[in-house]
Structure 1
């Protein structure tokens, strides 16, 4: 389903590629989970992580754009009552439809809504099975273009991703299957280039 949605989005963008502009963004992000999960084994929580998060954005006009967030596999330590019990890796492809508030200044604020995915990549330690998950995504941020810049700028945004993948943990106390409530806030700063 995710592959089909991505293909439809890419086809739609390529069909109108001559009508708008593309923007490439290269950023560094902090992923800060906002939830923990009470299980029979104890309280389980994913830790904060850092990630390299490039993205590609297509502008249909000055105000409307679509952005696809990409990333290298992101690893989270899974903490059981504060102690590391496992490590899980995932890809977080996220697509958002954005509204850019064009104005007379060099700051362009924006908001976006869309969908995200937790694509399981690897697990180790007590984690024996991690399933894919899909959820809502939202973002707010701004792009700033310095006076001497033609195509490049700097940006900051904050995203929320609703992710609760099903995880199975096995340790010396037994095992348990549960939805790991990660629900991260993702804070990103980086460079943008429009062409």
Structure 2
């Protein structure tokens, strides 16, 4: 009887300590990343459209509902891209692609890998294309994500992140739709995360 009471007391103490420890850890995580955009450049217009690959800055804000489940909002500034047809530059546009994902975080031997899926909205602006050529200014599509946080100290971690984002726009000439340009980039990021 005494042994079972002692075991119960120890279990209660351990559970209480675990709750107290998780309660002291902030649910907010902010990361800053350098991200390489590699466009798939899929095109059904017969113009062989493509945009340039580039490095861009990215900031994301995560909120942890539990130690495993979090949501992440990915933000950047409008990115200017050169649009080419058959390898020849024909114009440019800017795109702003905020992305919201729901993530599941694992704990594996001190590192914290995660998987995520969500929604991307891209706003295309500052369009500079040949006369009569236009693109749809709004794109909605899914986003898939995998990454890992490698703790450097209690609040700081190294982050590696890989996303596939589906960004597509209809292309028109003189008001008539001629096809769809699929940017659908792979985004490879490296950066630092701060837990507050």
Structure 2 length as normaliser, TM-score?
0.80
RMSD, aligned α-carbons: 2.0
| Correspondence for 2:147 | 141
Question: Residue 27 of structure 2 is aligned with which of 17, 21, 25?
Answer: 21
Q: Does 1:164 align with 2:176?
A: no
Instruction: Tell me the matched-pair count.
Output: 170
Partners of 1:29 and 1:87 lie apart in 2 by 20
Please, which runs of 5 or more residues in structure 1 have no aligned partner?
1-17
Tell me which structure has the larger Cα radius of gyration: 2
User: Is the contact made by 2:44 and 2:181 (CA closer than 8 Å) also made in structure 1?
Assistant: no
The 1:151/1:20 distance shift into structure 2, 3 A limit, reads closer
Question: Residue 73 of structure 1 is aligned with which of 63, 69, 78?
Answer: 78
Please, which runs of 5 or more residues in structure 2 have no aligned partner?
1-23
Partners of 2:108 and 2:193 lie apart in 1 by 18
Following superposition, the deviation at residue 19 of structure 1 comes to 9.4
| Correspondence for 1:99 | 104
The 1:78/1:153 distance shift into structure 2, 3 A limit, reads same
Q: Does 1:182 align with 2:188?
A: no
1:18-57 to structure 2, matched below 5 A, reads 21-40=27-46, 42-57=47-62
Secondary structure of 2:34's counterpart equals strand
Following superposition, the deviation at residue 178 of structure 1 comes to 2.8
User: Is the contact made by 1:123 and 1:130 (CA closer than 8 Å) also made in structure 2?
Assistant: no
**1:37-77 Cα distance to aligned partner (Å, 9 max, x none):** 1424x211122122111000001111100000000001221
Secondary structure of 1:150's counterpart equals coil
User: Is the contact made by 1:49 and 1:75 (CA closer than 8 Å) also made in structure 2?
Assistant: no
Partners of 1:101 and 1:45 lie apart in 2 by 37
